[in-house]
Structure 1
Amino acid sequence: METICIKNGRVFSGYDEPSKIADVLIKDGKVAEISATPIAAGEARIIDAAGQWVMPGFIDNHTHYDGELLVAPGLGESVRHGVTTVIVGGCSLSFVYADVDDCCDMFTRVEAFPREILYPILKDEKTWSNPREWLAHLDGLNVGPNIASFIGHSDIRARAMGIDRSLSATETPTRDELDAMKKMLEEALDAGFIGVSMQHNPWDKMDGRHWSKLLPAAYARGAERRALTAIVRRREAHLQGVPNLVNRVAAFWYMAESSAFFWRKKLKTSMVAMMDLKGDPYIRGVLSGLATFFNKICRADFRMQAFPVPFTVFAKGMDLVIFEEFPTGALARHLARDLKKRNATLTDPEYRKKFKKHYQSRLAPKIWQKDFGDAFVTDAPDKSWIGKSFGEIAAARNQHPVDAFLDIVVDLDDRVS
């Protein structure tokens, strides 16, 4: 294998140390030396990296490329940004055990992936029904980055209990069904999966035949979850989870589950997600403090997943998951498949009264800051709206921002974004 010497670049080693101008020697595909003084390269191929950054490939630990992998396995959008490893199967969702219909219904609404696109892809491609068969299918693809995967709790729950029972708040798995879930998790870990992903969030809902039901994993009770995390702990694998983003109490469950109380080992755990929110400026500090407490005092191995840069959310009409965090918004989303009924609801004065109450509440925990003055039109039939906030449009129409927004949604639906 070729020996390479990368010279004069600013090296970010990946360790907890400052960057530095250095040479990097690579032998047999591995980093052999990093030196701030020039390395005698000998016969090595020289790459002059002056003015460039030199660093290990990035690991993107939260993607939902499960569907895209099947049709565009090069994942060029990630690779061109220096990502060399992506992790799929997060948030309780993987395409391993469940059948095509169940996979689509669990995935498409949560991840805003059009069902009419994903369904035929899975129908054509999904020949596997266990982890090793899924991996064998990946081996036949021209994959760009390295791929690692969680096994999704919703995936194995739907397979073990059947989709109907897995979506019932009153049903718990039988002993045989729980044993089947445990066996599926063990099989996934044996095949090289990195752990299990779980889900508590009431925002994330089913598409298709079970429209607006929560994901299967969200109906699981503590005993079922602990039966699975006991395996992950014993195998020194990884737990990834999504807490309840409305009341956030489940965040404590993940922190406690990670902790090494008494005789038990710590559990490697990551949770979605550390955010610096406009709508809740204190939550970042609170979660950071709690995580520090559990890691230092309770000997946990707990990490928060975080976004690397500030971001802006884009939506068409009300097709945006953050409306799920309050009841009137969730109702509008639930009625999205019957626009006549939805529009009648959105124009009902009593509904609008409740929507305004939810919109104006300053006490409820929130991801969205609930400020139409901070929501801007990017496209609409009336081009004069582009660049204006819904608050500005409401003022020009002498309306409350909620009334203006709901009127626009009724009139234009997804033609306004």
Structure 2
Amino acid sequence: MSYDVIVRSGRWFDGTGAPSATRHLGIRDGKVAVVSAQPLDEGGCPRVIDASGKWVLPGLIDIHTHYDVEILESPSLSESVRHGVTSVFLGSCSLSTVHASPSDAGDLFARVEAIPRRHVVGALEEAKTWMSARDYVDALEALPLGPNVAAFLGHSDMRAAQMGLNRATRKDVRPSDFELANMEAMLTEALDAGFVGMSTQQLLFDKLDGVTCRSRTLPSTYAKSRERRRLNTILRRRGRALQAGPDLTSPFSLASLILGSTGLGRTKLKTSLLSAADIKSNPYTIRILGPIAAIVKRLRGDLRWQHLPVPFEVYADGIDLVVFEEFGSVAAALHLSDEIERNALLRDEEYRRWFRKDYDKRFGVKVWHRDFFDADIVACPDGSVIGKTFGQVGVERGGVHPVDAFLDLVVEYGTKLRWRTTISGHRPEILDMLARTPGVQLGFSDAGAHLRNMAFYNFGLRFLRRVRDSERAGRPSVTLEQAVHRLTGELADWYDIDAGHLREGDRADLVVIDPAHLDDTLDAYAESAMPAYDNLSRMVNRNDDAVTAVLVGGEYVFGAGVAADVLGVTRTGRFLHAGERTAR
């Protein structure tokens, strides 16, 4: 009996958390035909992958990306595929490209996700043929998709399309009954088309680009309880998920989202909240997130916290960094798109007093730790400051306040000044705690966004390395089987998509990993030009020895740092319809 592909002698993980074992996999017609303890007949098989000493596991699932624009121009999504990700989710943070006009989508995506606006608008003007969610699915399926794709429908996308971006971002405007009914119809139609749910956002430092509505928060932040309840009712009735980002400054926002997940006297609402992060500025909050999810479960609810299981290290060019939007002084500077006008503001002493006052606030909820002694300069025309913190530069310049040292360099060098800091995920023991917390989902890579700010495309590999190293050190937080389950089958089961498992009859989405190369190279960053974005240099990961083979739908698409000829040319991925797993 011949096979299209044989993967032999690998340590096989099925994605359920069951014990791993050395097995031989025979793949035929895009599915796993057999998992055998005995070697398979390789006669007539055109591709045999020797996985001796390697791990064979289901393709990884990335539940939080912003590939909504990139997928239209580069549907291979090779930067994720090269690291073993075979399924990605679009439509996070209330942002999708289903209904909004190209111009409005540019305003929605550009500033908050740090994707150049002209490329958002241009990609949609060229590609958009769809008028509905079902048409959108058909349009995706017509692309030569590299990985599989699942999708949320964005609340801000619906609001902007139905109300107009200006009305959708005004505090004194509520959607009419007609407009709200149309949003309900949009959501229902998307769920009928197989979307996994709806994403919304209440976080107030995500700001719009453009001119007319510049610096207003995302449309979904203006929605009131009545609107959210009516949309959530549809999700409850259909058993689909709500992805939400609470307003960190409002206890009511977080409480309402948590309580909204409960099922007392009503159908539960599957809720995935952003995010479980060990933030430097709030070191104690992280320990209560797991217990909160457990309490919600006892109240017949279903709450999960999204978590990036690696240190959240960010880079910035000059002053352009999304987390700076959380306080007024820098948001005021980022509001100014003209460089000359912005620099004039940054030089102004009254403005600097405002910035210093914001910087010196040590109380309240915040994401950035506001410590320029914890911000390393990595590139600058003035080589004497490279490798130093802004705080050190201030000390060396005669005791200049760290804010002034930072602003002086920004004014002088603009985006040629590049620096980095770690915002969260800095304590390994907390990362280990979250790895074994049932109410936490592993994801939140933000792949496809913040192209110059962060690179977490290989977060799954880095997580597996940490689990493997913990086992070797005799202090395991979870087993390798459990770790694989958390990155694959657990996510697929919760979102009800047909992915994340590697058993007989399952779709052959898999990755072969060489554990000998799960080493420090996983942490290295590199730069890669994006042809579709005028060769914009994107931060990426490059650790090509760790992943020796990636298959999507039984087709070999990547291995050892080299893409197969079919990737981005022939469609290997597909749209993952929510409900398929249950139906199968």
How would you bin the TM-score normalised by the shorter chain?
over 0.9
The change in CA–CA distance for 1:73 and 1:248 in structure 2 (over 3 A counts) is: farther
Question: Corresponding residue for 2:413?
Answer: 412
Which AA in structure 1 matches 2:410?
V
Q: 1:415 to 1:6 in 2, by over 3 A?
A: closer
The 8 Å contact of residues 6 and 42 in structure 2, kept in 1 or not, is answered as no
Q: Is residue 382 from structure 1 mapped to residue 385 from structure 2 by the alignment?
A: no
Question: Which amino acid letter does the alignment assign opposite residue 13 of structure 2?
Answer: F
Q: Residue type matched to 1:41 in 2? A: L
- Aligned-pair distance for 1:345? 3.1
For 1:7 and 1:204, the matched residues in 2 are separated by 48
Higher relative contact order (CA 8 A, sep 6+): 2
Superposed displacement of residue 171, structure 1: 0.8
Counterpart of 2:167 in structure 1 is 165
Q: Deviations over 1:288-317 (max 9, x none)?
A: 22122212x212211111113223201111
Q: Which runs of 5+ in 1 are unaligned?
A: none
Matched, 1:317 2:314: no
TM-score (norm 2): 0.67
8 Å Cα contact 2:102-2:122 kept in structure 1: no
For residues 64-75 of structure 1, the aligned pairs below 5 Å read 64-75=66-77
Structure 1 residues 100 and 42, CA gap change in structure 2 (3 angstroms): same
Please give the alpha-carbon distance, in whole angstroms, between the structure 1 residues aligned to 2:126 and 2:27.
Answer: 42
Equivalence for 1:252: 255
Secondary structure class of the residue paired with 2:376: coil
Residue range with higher mean Cα deviation, 307-316 or 352-361: 352-361
Structure 1 residue 287 displacement after superposition: 2.0
Question: Aligned residue for 2:429?
Answer: none
TM-score by length of 1: 0.93
CA distance in 2, matches of 1:116, 1:251: 34
* Residue matched to 2:303: 302
Please give the alpha-carbon distance, in whole angstroms, between the structure 2 residues aligned to 1:279 and 1:34.
48
2-structure distance, mates of 1:103, 1:152? 11
Partner of 1:364: 364
Q: Per-residue CA shift, 1:250-299, capped at 9, x if unaligned?
A: 2322222211112x12122111221122222212112222122212x212
Q: After TM superposition, give the deviation of residue 41 of structure 1 in Å.
A: 2.8
The RMSD of aligned alpha carbons is 2.1
Letter in 2 for 1:342: R
Give a deviation string over 1:176-200, Cα, whole Å, max 9, x none. 0100000111111111111111010
Q: The residue matched to 2:227 in structure 1 has which SS?
A: helix
Identity of aligned residues (%): 46
Q: Distance in 1 between matches of 2:286 and 2:201?
A: 20
In 2, are the aligned partners of 1:246 and 1:325 still within 8 Å (CA)? Answer: no
Residue 312 of structure 2: SS of its match in structure 1?
Answer: coil
Q: Distance in 2 between matches of 1:362 and 1:292?
A: 31
* SS of alignment partner, residue 133 of structure 1: helix
1:4-50 per-residue CA deviation (whole Å, 9 max, x = no partner) reads 55343223332234544444455664446656xx3353568564311
Kindly state the Cα deviation for residue 344 of structure 1 after the two structures are TM-superposed: 3.6
Detail structure 1 runs of 4+ shifted over 6 Å in the superposition. Answer: none
Residues 12-411 of structure 1: matches in 2 within 5 Å? Answer: 12-17=13-18, 19-24=20-25, 26=27, 29-31=30-32, 38-39=37-38, 41-42=40-41, 47-209=49-211, 210-247=213-250, 249-262=252-265, 264-295=266-297, 297-335=298-336, 337-398=337-398, 399-411=400-412
Unaligned regions of 5+ residues in structure 2, if any?
419-584
Q: Which amino acid aligns with 2:38?
A: I
CA distance in 1, matches of 2:345, 2:78: 43
- Secondary structure at the aligned position of 1:239 is classed as strand
User: Using a 3 Å threshold, how does the CA distance of structure 1 residues 246 and 380 change in structure 2: closer, same or farther?
Assistant: farther
Against the structure 1 CA distance between its residues 40 and 414, is the aligned structure 2 distance closer, same or farther, given a 3 Å change threshold? closer
Indicate the larger mover: 66-75 or 137-146. Answer: 137-146
After superposing the two structures, state which structure 1 stretch, 241-250 or 72-81, moved more. Answer: 241-250
Deviations 1:109-160 (A, max 9, x none): 1110011222222222212221122222222211101111111111111111
Name the CA distance, whole Å, in 2 between partners of 1:364 and 1:149. Answer: 34
Is the contact between residue 24 and residue 40 of structure 2 (CA under 8 Å) also seen in structure 1? no
Q: Do the aligned residues in 2 keep the contact of 1:243 with 1:249 (CA within 8 Å)?
A: no
Partner SS, residue 156 of structure 1: helix
What secondary structure, in the 3-state scheme, does the structure 1 residue paired with 2:273 have? strand
**Are residues 29 and 344 of structure 1, via their aligned partners in 2, closer, same or farther at CA, if it must alter by over 3 Å?**
closer
For 2:386 and 2:77, the matched residues in 1 are separated by 33
